[in-house]
Structure 1
Amino acid sequence: MTTTKVPTLIVGGGICGLATALSLARAGRPVHLLERAEEFTEIGAGLQFGPNASRALDALGVLEDVLPLAVRPTRAVMMDAYAGEPLTTLELGEKFHRRFGYPYLVLHRSDLLDLLLAHCRAHALITLENRRTVVDAQVRSNGATVVCADGSRYETPALIAADGLHSTLRRHVVDDTATCSGYAAYRGTLPMEKVSHAIAPDDVVLWVGPGVHLMQYPVRRGELYNQVAVFQSRRFLSGHTGAGEWGGPEELDAAFAGACGPVLDAVSRIGRDRFWAMFDRRPVDTWINGRLVLIGDAAHPMLQYLGQGACQALEDAVEIGYRLQRHDSDVDAAYRAFEAARLPRTARCQTSARPWGDLWHTADPLLIAVRNRLFAARASDDYRDVEWLYAPAEPGTAAPGLTASTAAVQPERFVPRRSTCAI
């Protein structure tokens, strides 16, 4: 089969891949994108977008189209999943908006993907191909060639891997395997009128307890209510890590047994047909090999506790477009500048998400008491703990695009251990 030559090639047509294609095209760079699925679809339901993600959407030229589809929550409320009592609140309204310059949004994943897809299809510099499953690549110092399962080949001077957590192309940069946390997530949405609310329906509500949490918030203009129930699998911890051996609905019910009424009611309404295992990887030293660069979850998958997976992918998309435009024909310099701007910040997100999740899920009575007392003492408009995530960069502290200051944090980076986790 003949080889197709393309100027810039993106592998992966999820939110990160489409956003990256749009970013490059808006910077004047023709781009070709390969997606393995027959159609562009997004798995999962809800997304939480902090101001950093809203800022990225604005840079991509899509924020005005996103706003009518999204909900602007007024508060984020953390509740005790067993006592049913509030632990802390973060105000997300006008004061928050003024502080960070952009709103906090919650929306449906498929709404965002469809919107990005429409913008990409409307752009003359973007070519999209479905049913192209990339199985291998030859990476060189001056380009790369990817090989698809059907035998088709594509040659490019600039290859961008946006192929997600279980990236096919990542092995050309680092030899590692995603780490399974042993937590399972059941997700789903309900029509808003079928939900009984213990808290205001336009709030983001997080219920936490030993080894469990439940996240709730409205999506799709407030028409649907997104719910995610997450628990630590005792079967996984006892060594039953094979496919079908852990994470089943019976474990879900057992994990939440004894929770307060609103939590039990919510969990009973979540679909049981499948679950998502929670994976991440620890930061590595580089995302680059020759003319291949990793981006989004292919580069820095993280646990969900900061709500930053998709947010950081959008920041990546904006940054890579900016760097390739600034360095024009020097792809190597663009890749290096992109990595220097983005790796420390995403590494901090990866390494911060784990202990934050541990704090939600702790079963230690003393730690619970200390956590609850600290949370109760903080004011609802105290934004100091999220400043590093949401604030725009100050001149000279980060990339000129969108990234917030990395606060000179340089997390430890190493190759993750291999995981035996299976879904």
Structure 2
Amino acid sequence: MQQYDEVFPPTTVFIIGGGIGGLAAALALNRGGHSVTLAEQAAEFGEVGAGLQLGPNATRILRDWGLLDAVESEGVVVDTLVARDALDGRVLTSMPVAGSFVEHYRAPYVVIHRTDLHRILLAACRAAGIVLLTGTRISAVEPATDGATVIAEDGRRQSYPVVIGAEGLRSASRDAIVGDAPVPSGYVAYRGTIPLETASTSNDVTVWMGPGCHLVQYPLRNGTLLNNVLVFRSPGFERGEEDYGGAGELEAAFGGCAEPVRRALAHVGRQRRWPLYDRAPASTWSSGRLVLTGDAAHPMLQYLAQGACQALEDADALGRLAGAHARTDWDRVVEGFVAEREPRATRVQTTAHAFGALCHAAGEQRAVRNELLAAREIDDFSVADWLYAARAAAVTP
């Protein structure tokens, strides 16, 4: 990889953060003919975590970029989304996401290991000639009326027509623009994948809904792995403990659940827990020519499985609004991007909270939830149209 020892390369766009959102933004803008430099603070590119879900709002974009075949090859095309009661195990509702679902939304529902999607995007960026820097920590960004200057911890600095902050939940760019802080949800996740001796014959995503807890399971890597995510409300958090959500709380949270749910306890690592955070929706995503994208702009809880999907939507919008113009009006691009994406992402953020409350309902609320879900027609996609259906694109500058 080419080295730039004194200054950063003078490209059109500078992106801070080499996760899925940053790579996607780089690829989308490059596809429009814009030169891009992307800086990652880690010594190597990589992702942590396990599986993620890609609804048709995301897979349509990946298909447009020529990456869907690779994503489907590395992941699993899902047949059905299934909701079960975690206490008694019964199926509450299901949504087939093959056949008529794919015809309705013009794209499939795919699950993939996070590292595999990241690797696919990284390879596409490398093939496109995007400048990719590692071990580069950006300490400050100075917005100006005609661009923004990035300043690295090692003293390097360079001005760009536009800078994109894609550093995720704990974004320094977000701190500078919005000035808020991550908000703990009080829920904790434990994750793990286990190898399957034979490829899974079920290509379903199953959510087991319990009082203050849930389990998500689905196959990965062509059905050779089973992904397990156990999430629960921590009593330690409610007591104000700093180190909340330990393995003892995990066991207690799922102790009264059905046997298949309890069995999953053996398939998640206990050495690392994942306290779940988001931030309150923000109407301000930019300062001059510095603009936020992905989790830096709209970190969300996982209940709609839309974190990566919304980052891909952001990237697609940036690429489309920037267009293939030699003299792109970046002020108009930034303004149009925020106007298009902020209401949409805010709705996803707030609906994720509401769906989490539904998922974790207890007592009489659980009974009402179960009754309502059981009454749903399985081939009724109307409840998901707002999320998955293709929308009219904003006017490109």
Common topology (TM > 0.5): yes
- SS of residue paired to 2:77: coil
Q: How does 1:16-31 map to 2 (within 5 A)?
A: 16-31=21-36
Q: Which residue of 1 aligns with 2:158?
A: 154
Partner of 1:414: none
Unmatched tracts of structure 1, length 5 or more: 402-423
Q: 2:179 aligns with which of 175, 181, 184?
A: 175
Q: 2:395 and 2:192 mapped to 1: Cα distance?
A: 38
Please report the TM-score for the alignment, with normalisation by the length of structure 1: 0.89
Give the TM-score, by structure 2 length.
0.95
Partner of 2:348: 349
**2:169, 2:296 within 8 Å by CA — same for their partners in 1?**
yes
Corresponding residue number in structure 2 for 1:83: 88
Pairwise mapping of residues 217-366 of structure 1 onto structure 2 (< 5 A)? 217-240=218-241, 242=242, 245-325=243-323, 328-363=327-362, 365-366=363-364
Distance in 2 (alpha carbons) for counterparts of 1:59 and 1:279? 32
Tell me, yes or no, if the aligned pair for 2:361 and 2:369 is still in contact at 8 Å.
no
Partner AA of 1:237 in structure 2? E
Equivalent residues of 2:13, 2:162 under 8 A apart: yes
Aligned to 1:209: 210
CA distance in 1, matches of 2:40, 2:358: 37
Q: Which amino acid aligns with 1:158?
A: V
Shift of 1:400: 6.1
- Give the number of equivalent residue pairs: 390
1:271-303 deviations in whole A, cap 9, x for unaligned?
111011111112112211001000000000111
> Distance between the aligned counterparts of 1:238 and 1:59, measured in 2?
49
Pairs within 5 Å for 1:43-122: 43-122=48-127
3-state SS of 2:332 partner: helix
Q: Which runs of 5+ in 2 are unaligned?
A: none
CA-to-aligned-CA distance 1:199-257 (integer Å, 9 cap, x gap): x63210101111100000011111111110001100001111x2xx2011111111111
Question: 1:134, CA displacement in angstroms?
Answer: 1.4
- Is 1:6–1:155's contact at 8 Å kept on the other side of the alignment? no
Specify the alignment match of 1:408 in structure 2: none
Determine which of 37, 44, 47 is the counterpart of 1:42: 47
What amino acid is the match of 1:103?
P
CA distance in 2, matches of 1:129, 1:57: 24
Q: Determine the C-alpha separation between the residues in 2 that align with 1:400 and 1:70.
A: 34
Distance apart, 1:325 and its partner CA: 1.5
**1:369-388 pair list within 5 angstroms:** 369-388=367-386
Q: Is the 8 A contact 1:183 1:278 kept in 2?
A: yes
Secondary structure at the aligned position of 1:88 is classed as strand
- Structure 2 counterpart of 1:417: none
Equivalent position amino acid for 2:334 in 1: Y
Query: What is the aligned counterpart of 2:366 among 360, 365, 368?
Result: 368
State which drifts further: 37-46 or 200-209.
Answer: 200-209
CA shift in 2, pair 1:381/1:158, >3 Å: same
Q: Cα RMSD over matched residues? A: 1.6
Q: What residue number does 1:135 align with? A: 139
Percent of aligned positions that are identical: 47
Aligned to 2:394: 399
The answer on whether the counterparts of 1:59 and 1:318 sit within 8 Å (CA) in structure 2 is no
Whether the 8 Å contact between 2:198 and 2:224 is mirrored in structure 1 is: no
Cα shift readout 1:318-351 (whole Å, capped 9, x = no counterpart):
1101111266421000111111111111010001
Letter in 2 for 1:371: R
For residues 296 and 152 of structure 2, the distance between their equivalents in structure 1, rounded to whole angstroms, comes to: 18
CA shift, 1:2, in A, is: 4.3
**Contact preservation (8 Å) 2:42, 2:134:** yes
Instruction: Please report how far the alpha carbon of residue 193 of structure 1 lies from its aligned counterpart in structure 2 after TM superposition.
Output: 2.4
Counterparts of 2:111 and 2:303 in 1: how far apart (Å)?
15
Secondary structure of residue in 1 paired with 2:188: strand
Letter in 2 for 1:387: D
What is the distance in 2 between the residues matched to 1:319 and 1:101? 19
1:163 match: 167
Change (3 A) 1:184 1:194: farther
Q: CA deviation at 1:366?
A: 1.7
Residues 87-119 of structure 1, C-alpha deviations (whole Å, 9 max, x = no match): 111111111101110000011111111111111
CA contact under 8 A between 1:326 and 1:334: conserved in structure 2?
Answer: no
After TM superposition, give the deviation of residue 194 of structure 1 in Å: 8.2
For the residue of structure 2 that corresponds to 1:166, the secondary structure is: coil
